[in-house]
Amino acid sequence: MTTTTNAVHAAATGRPAYTETMPCEPASARKARILVALALSAWDLDALVEDGKVIVSEFVANSCEHTDCRNLRVTVIRLAPTCVRIAVIDKSVKLPARRTASADEENGRGLAVVAALATDSGTDTFTWGKRAWAELTEAAEDR
């Protein structure tokens, strides 16, 4: 099955980037994973694809579950030849909160998973919302 995405935009200037605005709904996690995989494959960073898909899925899930936004924006930015930043932007000022889930809880581990996979992560705040981001760096042995 071939999947296409029509709203992907590459950055015109500055660092290479892919970005797409999508509905703030759980089904958008699939579209976000496709966007991340396309960007990382285009940059020959295939070793980062699986971790990138997990990270973007967690960020989209958090936006869908904890905000009442209509849309979110997914960006994948190449910061350096082997480093990317994956981000999800929404219009909620409510910050993500990392917590410790009990053994029998199904939810509550997303930000811990992101922190375990990423070389760095954080949240940028704006007057109109926030950007949750994580950076991935390809190891030299993966080149």
Tens of pLDDT, residues 89-141: 999 988 776 656 555 555 555 788 899 999 999 999 999 999 999 999 998 66
Is the CB of residue 36 less than 8 Å from the CB of residue 28?
no
* C-alpha span between 29 and 33 (Å, rounded): 6
Is CATH 2.40.30.70 correct for 9-142? Answer: no
Following DSSP, what letter does each residue of 12-75 receive, concatenated? SSSS-EEEEEEESSTTHHHHHHHHHHHHHHHTT-GGGHHHHHHHHHHHHHHHHHH---SEEEEE
pLDDT (tens digit, 9 = 90+) per residue, 20-77? 999 999 999 999 999 999 999 999 999 999 999 999 999 999 999 889 999 999 999 9
Over pLDDT 70: what percentage of the chain?
78
Q: Can you give the pTM of this predicted structure?
A: 0.83
- Integer Cα distance of 34 and 7 in angstroms: 12
Where are the chain's structural domains? 9-142
